[in-house]
Amino acid sequence: MEKPENSICVIFGGTGDLTRRKLMPALFRVFRQGLLSPDFALVGISLDEYNRRSYKELIKKSIIKFSDSEKIDKKILGKFIDKIYYFSLNVKNSEKFSEMEQFLCGIDDSINGNKNYLYYLAVKPALYVPIIKNLGKVGLSNEKKNEGWKRIIIEKPFGSDLASAQSLNQLLQKYFDENQIYRIDHYLGKETVQNILAFRFANGIFEPLWNRNYIDHIEITGSEKNGVGIRGGYYDQAGALRDMVQNHLLQILATIAMEPPNSFEARQVRNEKVKIFQALCPIDIKNIEKRVIRGQYISSFIDGEKVFSYRDEDKVEPQSRTETYVALKTFIDNWRWSGVPFYIRTGKRLPARVNEVVINFKKTPHYLFKRIHPKDVGANKLILRIQPDEGIVIKFGMKQPGEGFNIKTVSMDFHYSDLGSEHLPEAYERLLLDAFIGDPTLFARADAVEACWEFITPIIREWERNPEIGLYGYPAGTWGPQEADNLFENQEQKWRQSCESITNNGNFCEL
């Protein structure tokens, strides 16, 4: 793999939860594998009163704590910690940005970095504007002649609707070129999401079937067992549609549905994804409840313990109408997918933490064994599991041993864990390394973000405008409101239900 040039990673929100739990442990794992440049530096930026020594100690403890059961070589960890610096900054104070520039120049001289700067905005979205403006004002966004690159990573949410997303993009593009902007969606960094592309385009046996002629419908699920936890204040302003569908799940849909790019190059791959977003059929607002179902979890007992309702969670409005569950049906208006329904669902307090895609193939045109074995075993399924127990399952019918032709559905499973010693990088590892290298393939582009919001915003506006639209309660620990089953065109069809338990033989169990 290409190794990055010497550079400085500047993390705004350097003492925050994201930095301590995800970013620093991920950077350490990348460093431990020898994938970073020999001379690089990390600068934490925050309002908190730390000096370099106390900040290094904070990060050291965080890496040890959030690296799970990994064995950490203290010598390697020490070398990584020595790369870390700290600068206290009020991001709304433009004068302090000039001081920060001098601070970075001093570090850059010591590592011969040629002023290659990667900025990571691990802060609340409300702070994006002052940070971007002040970086621009002091010239820290400019790629000057005879100097290195400048890149900026933006965490989701990329706005809260189409207008705010356009406003954010305009601000970013005022100070940065689009090729300097990396909008990060950690779902795209998951190895199994990337492997969907490899599965489709590296295997000649599947791509001929990947169209309306052979596929009946596709399900995309992103379910969580937990409630909103400490995120109640944020979540009550966002909801499941903004938090999961607009970014994560639509990105997965595009990965599943995109046309083969001319080459596996960032611009080509992202062009094909944008075409999918732009081809999404708008939801008919007049019949919104036939296309979109929203729900909110209510109090229930799970494993004998009482679980709070969403409205009883901390920092949630007592009469909140924010959806914790959403299911929708959409279509892609192009030649390949015309008439094929795509069903998307996501929710909190569901029975399992599952992220998967189910490709439901059409049934055989004539069931040959109906006289001998009247039960139709159903259609073939291809299941792409993103988490947990990452892997691929193909379901098909086989004859049971013995007399007659009794057909049984069986599974052919592949588990990423079967690769044994192969390191399965976490999402932030891959994405951070790509940003250092300058590969934007797995990052969202401005036109893609805006196209997704263009699809989602009318739904949000109709919910706000019309309080009579149903918000269905579902007991915590169930698979959401029953009304979601009504989205299917064929009443024999239903959502695939999975649990996250792994059986003794390593198979992913189904309910």
Q: Which positions are annotated as active-site residues? A: 248
Contacts of 80 (CB under 8 A, 6+ apart): 27, 28, 31, 32, 63
CA 168 to CA 182: how far, in whole Å? 13
Residue 450, SS3 per DSSP: helix
The CA-atom distances, in angstroms, between 487 and each of 253, 292, 454, 483 are: 18, 8, 22, 8
Q: Are 116 and 6 in contact (CB under 8 A)?
A: yes
C-beta separation of 172 from 152 below 8 A: yes
Count other C-beta atoms under 10 Å from residue 468's C-beta: 6
- CB atoms under 10 Å from CB of 494, counted, come to 12
- Positive or negative, the CA dihedral 100, 101, 106, 108 is positive
Q: What is the DSSP letter of 196?
A: H
- For the chain, count helices (H), then strands (E): 14, 19
Q: Could you tell me if 281 and 332 are in contact, meaning their C-beta atoms sit under 8 angstroms apart?
A: yes
Taking the C-alpha atoms of residue 272 and residue 274, their distance in angstroms, rounded to an integer, is: 5
Q: Which two tokens stand for residue 170?
A: 């305009």
Strand partners, 301: 306
| Partners of 398 in beta bridges | 408
In angstroms, how far is CA 159 from the centroid of its own chain? 16
SS3 36: coil
Strands 292-298 and 300-302: unpaired
Q: Which residues contact 386 (CB under 8 A, 6 or more apart)?
A: 187, 190, 192, 193, 252, 355, 356, 357
The residue type found at 441 is T
